[in-house]
Amino acid sequence: MTSFSAPWEALLFCIVLLAAPVLAQPGRRPVLPLLALIFTQAIALFSGHGTIAYAAVAGSALVHAAGAWRLTRTGALMLFTSAGITAAAAVSIHLGHLTVALVLSCIAIAMRTGVMPLHVGVAQLCDRAPVIQTQQLASAIALVFIHLRFVDHHAAAMTLAPWLIRGGAVAAIGAALITLVQKDLRGFYRGTTTMHGGMVLAALGTASYGGFAAALLVMVTMGLALGGIGIMTSALESRVGPVSFSSPGGRVVAFPVLAAAFALFGGAGVGLPGMAGFVADDLLLHTLWMESPASTVAIILASAFLAVATLTGYAKTFLGHGTPSVTPDLLTRERMVVATLLVGLLVLGFTPGVLLTPADSFLSVTPPA
């Protein structure tokens, strides 16, 4: 019964990330796409058949792509492509070609999480469709979950693992360096998203050495932290317009709650103690060190570079001579969204076992053929 709670917990985080950006934004809130996405995630997480699970995630990617089409063609095409790749993985599982399904699943995850050099679609979503970006991270959690459940037990996963670890580490440090030289808040959002994508890819590699639950925690942390950063970035830009780091800062005076929330989500993204990212980074680095010390050093440096970029971005956006504004600080609906995401990060930070124990029990069992 304990192990069965793993899909329920994953579904809960998916629902939170699917609903959060919709509830935070003003105006009309489309309900049908949201319900369709929740339904497809539930099918993926609870299905006992890999073919059905991958087909459900492919369906959710199509829903995301349809929502993104009018906002960014590049982002929509990435989602359409990832849907096709995920569907191909479903067919491969049905035909018994698990090695092919494993490779296709890794490619789909890399595209959905924005791993360099497959990050262009995600970068466009961060810029032009942040609501869709946060929601597609939710279904990426389901994609990682079914990857760990259905294809990562295959023998080929051990062969592929070193490539995923090293490729993820290189992608993470490259993205972190790029984030350091961004000139605006959207650039920071794009860069930190891409850096975390590299960490997820490396975590998938470590899963083959028994780190199934840790890999899932890395993905959940990415969703919650980046979801919060994206929502706060959109909230600030809706009040003051695009934020350039060369313009005057001092926005903490006008928006103290927004500034505090941004700082906490940014801290969660770089492993702030007490947050889920601290535990996720610790588990990831522990397994990485046993397999590839060089990759471990690369991930540590990437996290350090991202921490510097986060502090710099926060300082240039919020600190300095106070800038007055007639627009209000976070509204009630936005504060509720912030509180929900932060509670998730804090619960996983202080009691990670609530996710790790059932996930490890559930995902470490090889599913029936």
- Residue at 339 is within a domain: yes
At residue 288, the pLDDT reads 87
* Mean pLDDT computed over every residue of the chain: 91
Q: Which two tokens stand for residue 215?
A: 């890999």
- Residue at 327 is within a domain: yes
**1 — pLDDT class (breaks 50, 70, 90):** very low
Q: What percent of the chain has pLDDT over 90?
A: 76
At residue 369, the pLDDT reads 52
At residue 209, the pLDDT reads 83
Say how far apart CA 102 and CA 98 lie, in whole Å.
6
CB 224 within 8 A of CB 276: yes
- In this predicted model, what pLDDT tens digit does every residue of 306-318 receive, in sequence order? 999 999 999 999 9
84 burial type by CB count under 10 A (0-12 exposed, 13-18 middle, 19+ buried): middle
Say how far apart CA 11 and CA 47 lie, in whole Å.
12
Stated as kind and residue range, the H or E segment containing 33 is helix 32-46
- In this predicted model, what pLDDT tens digit does every residue of 2-58 receive, in sequence order? 555 889 999 999 999 999 999 988 776 678 889 999 999 999 999 989 999 999 999
Say how far apart CA 348 and CA 217 lie, in whole Å.
9
- Quick one: average pLDDT of 280-294? 87
| Domain assignment of residue 54, given as a range | 5-363
Q: Which two tokens stand for residue 240?
A: 């003051």
- Residue at 368 is within a domain: no
Q: Structurally, how many domains does the chain consist of? A: 1
Say how far apart CA 248 and CA 223 lie, in whole Å.
30
Whether residue 260 is predicted with pLDDT greater than 80 in this model: the reply is yes
At residue 366, the pLDDT reads 67
Q: Average the pLDDT over each of 51-55, 283-287, 329-333 and give the range with the smallest value.
A: 283-287
Say how far apart CA 192 and CA 119 lie, in whole Å.
12
Say how far apart CA 76 and CA 120 lie, in whole Å.
11
- Residue at 88 is within a domain: yes
- Residue at 369 is within a domain: no
- In this predicted model, what pLDDT tens digit does every residue of 206-239 receive, in sequence order? 988 888 888 999 999 999 999 999 999 999 999 9
Q: Note the pTM of the prediction, 2 decimals.
A: 0.94
- CA dist list (Å): 22 to 13, 76, 111, 178, 339: 15, 18, 23, 30, 15
**199 — pLDDT class (breaks 50, 70, 90):** very high
- Residue at 276 is within a domain: yes
- Residue at 258 is within a domain: yes
- Residue at 145 is within a domain: yes
